[in-house]
């Protein structure tokens, strides 16, 4: 039985993945403290959250955030600090030596994290390993854009070298759109990549892994995206656990080559023109669909806690395929509303009570987070950090 008093501090309580971590740790009798820059964070209202706290925004006040975390870890003994968002992990990684003396912090050093955050760099490493990638064009000077615009196979994808989710991603259909959109994205994300467009009929996959401090594999899992929002490409709203050895092996090889530490999810999209999975990016953090892996049998947060406790275990690679997990409100609902082919998914969308389908947020035994999630847009009215997040996404809504 897990030690009841081995406390864990989890950051970024606003997100679904954080809720998944809080629930599974709490269900295993681990006391969880949830932090966020706003009080109204759904993970903090879970029945499995022992304590919730509000800290300075890591985006708006990084120095104050670091000071807060340092003071907290100094005053109270936490077995593990679990940063859930990429920005938070990156900020903490710059002070890894300091915080690692106070608690178990399962993230890589800042230089390695920076290397993986850069999508152009990841594409380059994958090409060296022979892992298929979309054809990619890199711009070093805006004067190159005119000549390149004449030769591109439209539509193409403009993708920031460093960003999260669908922020800053655009799909220009011609030269005029390319030039206008590229300039707009460039203002916030300098010199974004241009990639060939993989037809939407191709399925998306995620291969998720956990590596220890020696970059030895401790767990692995693959899921297939069934629906997402935005419909044109974004966070998955419905996904299913699956076996896909080619994707699993390529993703593992890539992360082992990098010498990864902690968790990461590698995204692929199958090109329907030739049937080959092509690398999209590495998410060097916990991923939004974490709850699926947990329900299918790969409990990444609990495995990290075992590592924090010094427990040894064989790599966890067996899980139940065919398990589905759904982000119903608002994700899958928005997919349904904005899907021009919604009539084709009507029957499947309204199937709620199936034994092999679970939900990211909705829970009969833990209902309050769903209510808080519905109320959370209120925070965009008064909270500076939440306003900043919304402004970033609004400005790059292309």
Q: Where are the domains of the chain?
A: 8-105, 135-196, 204-366
Q: Name the residue with tokens 């993703």.
A: 251
Q: Say what the pLDDT of residue 67 is.
A: 98
Q: Are strands 262-271 and 276-283 parallel, antiparallel or unpaired?
A: antiparallel
CB 268 within 8 A of CB 236: no
CB 22 within 8 A of CB 341: no
Q: Say what the pLDDT of residue 385 is.
A: 75
CB 175 within 8 A of CB 149: yes
Facing residues of 270 across strands?
Answer: 277
The token pair at 110 is: 């800042």
- Chunk the chain into consecutive blocks of 10 residues (it has 398) and report each block's average pLDDT, rounded to whole numbers: 67 98 98 95 98 96 98 96 97 98 98 95 97 96 94 96 82 96 95 95 97 98 96 92 99 98 98 97 97 99 98 98 97 95 92 92 98 87 70 50
Give the 3-state secondary structure of residue 86.
Answer: helix
Is 158 buried (19+), middle (13-18) or exposed (0-12) by CB count in 10 A?
buried
- Where b means 16+ CB within 10 Å and e means fewer, 1-40 reads eeeeebbbbbbbbbbbbbbbbbbbbbebebbbbbbbbbeb
* Fold observed for domain 135-196: Dna Ligase; domain 1 (3.30.1490)
Q: What is the pTM of this model?
A: 0.93
Which residues lie below 8 Å from residue 59, measured CB to CB, with a gap of 6+? 37, 87, 385, 388, 389
* Long-range contacts of residues 395-398, Cβ cutoff 8 Å, at least 24 apart: 395/188, 396/167, 396/168, 396/184, 396/185, 396/188, 396/189, 398/168, 398/169, 398/170, 398/181, 398/184, 398/185
Q: Say what the pLDDT of residue 394 is.
A: 47
At the top level of CATH, the class of 204-366 is: alpha beta
Q: Say what the pLDDT of residue 4 is.
A: 43
What are the angstrom distances between the C-alpha of 322 and each of 128, 209, 237, 241, 325?
33, 19, 16, 5, 10
Q: Name the residue with tokens 């998955």.
A: 236
**For 8-105, CATH number?**
3.40.50.720
Facing residues of 208 across strands?
Answer: 221, 265
The token pair at 226 is: 């069934």
């Amino acid at each position: 039985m897990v030690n009841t008093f081995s406390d864990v501090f989890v950051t970024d309580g606003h997100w679904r993945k954080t809720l998944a971590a809080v629930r599974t740790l709490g269900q295993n009798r681990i006391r969880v403290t949830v932090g966020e820059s706003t009080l109204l964070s759904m993970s903090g209202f879970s029945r499995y959250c022992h304590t919730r706290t509000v800290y300075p925004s890591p985006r708006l006040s990084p120095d104050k955030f670091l000071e807060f975390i340092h003071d907290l870890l100094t005053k109270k003994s936490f077995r593990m600090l679990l940063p859930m968002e990429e920005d938070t992990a990156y900020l903490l990684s710059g002070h890894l030596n300091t915080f690692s003396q106070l608690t178990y912090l399962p993230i890589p050093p800042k230089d390695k994290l920076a290397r993986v955050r850069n999508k152009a760099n990841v594409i380059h490493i994958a090409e060296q390993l022979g892992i298929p990638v979309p054809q990619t064009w890199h711009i070093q000077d805006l004067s190159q854009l005119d000549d390149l615009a004449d030769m591109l196979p439209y539509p193409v994808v403009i993708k920031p070298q460093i960003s999260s989710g669908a922020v800053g991603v655009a799909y220009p259909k011609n030269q005029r759109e390319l030039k206008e959109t590229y300039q707009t994205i460039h203002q916030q994300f300098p010199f974004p990549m241009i990639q060939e467009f993989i037809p939407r009929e191709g399925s998306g996959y995620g291969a998720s892994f956990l590596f220890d401090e020696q970059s030895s594999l401790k767990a692995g899992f693959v899921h297939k995206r069934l629906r997402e929002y935005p419909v044109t490409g974004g966070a998955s709203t419905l996904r299913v656990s699956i076996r896909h050895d080619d994707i699993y092996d390529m993703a593992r090889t890539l992360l082992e080559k990098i010498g990864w530490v902690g968790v990461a999810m590698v995204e692929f999209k199958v090109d329907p023109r030739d049937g080959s999975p092509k690398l999209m990016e590495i998410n060097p953090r916990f991923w939004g669909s974490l709850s699926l892996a947990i329900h299918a049998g790969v409990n990444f947060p609990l495995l990290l806690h075992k590592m924090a406790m010094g427990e040894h275990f064989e790599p966890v690679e067996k899980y139940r395929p065919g398990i589905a997990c759904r982000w119903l409100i608002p994700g899958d609902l928005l997919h349904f509303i904005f899907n021009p082919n919604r009539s084709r998914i009507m029957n499947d969308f309204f199937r709620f009570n199936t034994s092999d389908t679970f939900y990211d947020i909705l829970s009969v035994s833990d209902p309050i987070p769903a209510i808080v999630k519905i109320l959370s847009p209120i925070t965009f009215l008064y909270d500076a950090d939440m306003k900043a997040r919304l402004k970033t996404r609004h400005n790059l809504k292309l």
